[in-house]
Copies of this chain bind each other. A is one copy, B any other.
Amino acid sequence: MRKLVLVLALLPALAIAQKEDSIFIRKIANNILVNGRAYEQLRYLTKKIGGRLAGSPQMTMAENWGLTTLKESGADNVFFQECMVPHWVRGGEDKAAVIDVAGKKQKRSLDVLALGNSLGTGKKGLTGEVIAVASYDELENRKAEVKGKIVFYNYPFNPTYIRPGQAYGESGVYRRNGPSRAAKYGAVGVIVRSLTEATDNNPHTGATLYNDSFPKIPAVAVGLKDAEYLFKTCKENKIVKVSLTTYGHFLPDAVGHNVIAELKGTDQNEFITVGGHLDSWDINEGAHDDGTGIVQTMEVLRVLKALNYKPKKTIRFVLFANEENGLRGGQKYAEQAKVNKEKHVFALESDNGGFTPRGFSFTVSEAGLQKIKQWQPLLQTYGGTDFIQGGGGADITPLNSNFNTPVAQLLPDNQRYFDLHHARSDVFEQVNKRELFLGAINMAALIYLVDKYGL
């Protein structure tokens, strides 16, 4: 009861603070909804620069554009943070075809994309018999049959998870580890069913990670129509042969940069970071992944400056390098924080697509989460209702690992994300202006609240 009395005594002060916060967040919202630049910035990034894989000329164009745009958004200072990035190139047009079904020659093309970081067959290509497996369990049961063959993993993207990120986590092991796991048993190539439920036939690329203990065999993704056809054909026929031609290879590491802007706080050595990743795959415009996170980050800067907000902490706006196939940008940022003895009190990333926000996921103490949940009434008007434990973007995870910095990720309603994620269809037209803006509003509001009240 005593606690209750105390709480009741504090209520008027709390109510005034909440009202003030509510008014400021409404200003953030109105300003972004009316004056927001994120959508037009995204149009430029996707249409004028396009795919911008680490090491590519487009990466450099995007970095320069990022620096200029952050400056224009009102930063106190902007700078490049150099980091060496891997330089994988696709090297040519990925091709595959079914060329023999049970002894009958044919040529049915498959629409494929080499997995990122995978090594190509080269011009001469690779021809092999396919062994189609539904899962690693089936691979293990049939490991004696694998030698000299192309393993086709047809593990489906589970539709019954309500949050599709769970299905991505589950199926993702086949793309990430499948090639080496097949190579262990003597496979000469790998085909992976794309990590999607999309009913089109677009293949979805993404990074694979070779295990150095086994041969680094070529690996491609196929879309769902081809996957269904190939699996059925393999299950109905004793021998199915496929030809693969891919050209993936690494060039020497390249000079890349995190692009960083600051709004200086009254306490200049305490940092709050907000960011997304500037790189994308080469075969699309990197609109939802992660152009939207980039322009939302810029929008947070623009609106705080436009509203003349004077932060307590220094707020960093970071366009991270090389999330897709190396994470060198995120690692560099955390290393440099250590070198410079910076105190990082919070970091937020947007890298789940620019869809309507539902809230945030956090990696934070239970006490911190309880504090954040008190802000829910301030954010729910703008879609932010879910505040859950467990999350934070890939680029800011090193901050959490190294310094125990609380980290968070914007949780958009990403039901349609995996229809286009890492596929050619991740283009500007798939992004809705209002959904993009609402995400930026929630991000700006959270940064404001963390800056004002700490965590």
Contact = CB atoms under 8 A, between A and B. Distances in A.
A378 to B, nearest CB: 13
A419 B432 CA distance: 9
Interface in A71-110: none
B381 A415 contact: no
A434 B164 contact: yes
B433 A33 contact: no
A205 B283 CA distance: 37
B416 A160 contact: no
8 contacts: A29-B162, A33-B160, A162-B381, A413-B413, A415-B434, A415-B438, A416-B432, A419-B432
Given A415-B434, A434-B416, A382 B34 contact: no
A60 interface: no
Interface of A: 29-30, 33-34, 39, 159-160, 162, 164, 197, 199, 356, 381-383, 385, 413, 415-416, 419, 432-435, 438
Contacts of A432: 415-416, 419
Contact of A30 (B30, B160, B356): B160
Tell me the number of copies of this protein: 2
Contact of A160 (B34, B385, B419, B433): B34
Contacts of A382: 162
Given A199-B433, A433-B197, A415 B162 contact: no
Nearest to A386: B385
A39 B419 CA distance: 14
A292 to B, nearest CB: 14
Contact of A199 (B34, B39, B415): B39
Contacts of A385: 385
A34 to B, nearest CB: 6
Interface pairs A-B: 3 shortest CB-CB: A416-B432, A415-B434, A33-B159
Choose among A162, A197, A382, A432 the residue with the greatest number of B CB atoms under 10 Å from its CB. A162
A33 B164 CA distance: 12
A402 to B, nearest CB: 35
A298 B65 CA distance: 50
Nearest to A418: B434
Given A413-B413, A415-B435, A434-B416, A29 B199 contact: no
Given A162-B381, A416-B432, A416-B434, 10 more contacts: A34-B159, A159-B434, A162-B382, A162-B438, A199-B433, A356-B413, A413-B413, A415-B432, A415-B438, A419-B432
A299 to B, nearest CB: 14
Contacts of A29: 160, 162
Choose among A29, A382, A432 the residue with the greatest number of B CB atoms under 10 Å from its CB. A432
A386 to B, nearest CB: 8
Nearest to A164: B434
A388 to B, nearest CB: 12
A382 B161 CA distance: 10
Nearest to A434: B415
Contacts of A413: 356, 383, 413
Contacts of A197: 433-434
Contacts of A434: 159, 164, 197, 415-416
A435 B417 CA distance: 11
Contacts of A33: 159-160
Contacts of A164: 434
A30 B381 CA distance: 30
A450 B160 CA distance: 24
Contacts of A415: 356, 432, 434-435, 438
A159 B39 CA distance: 14
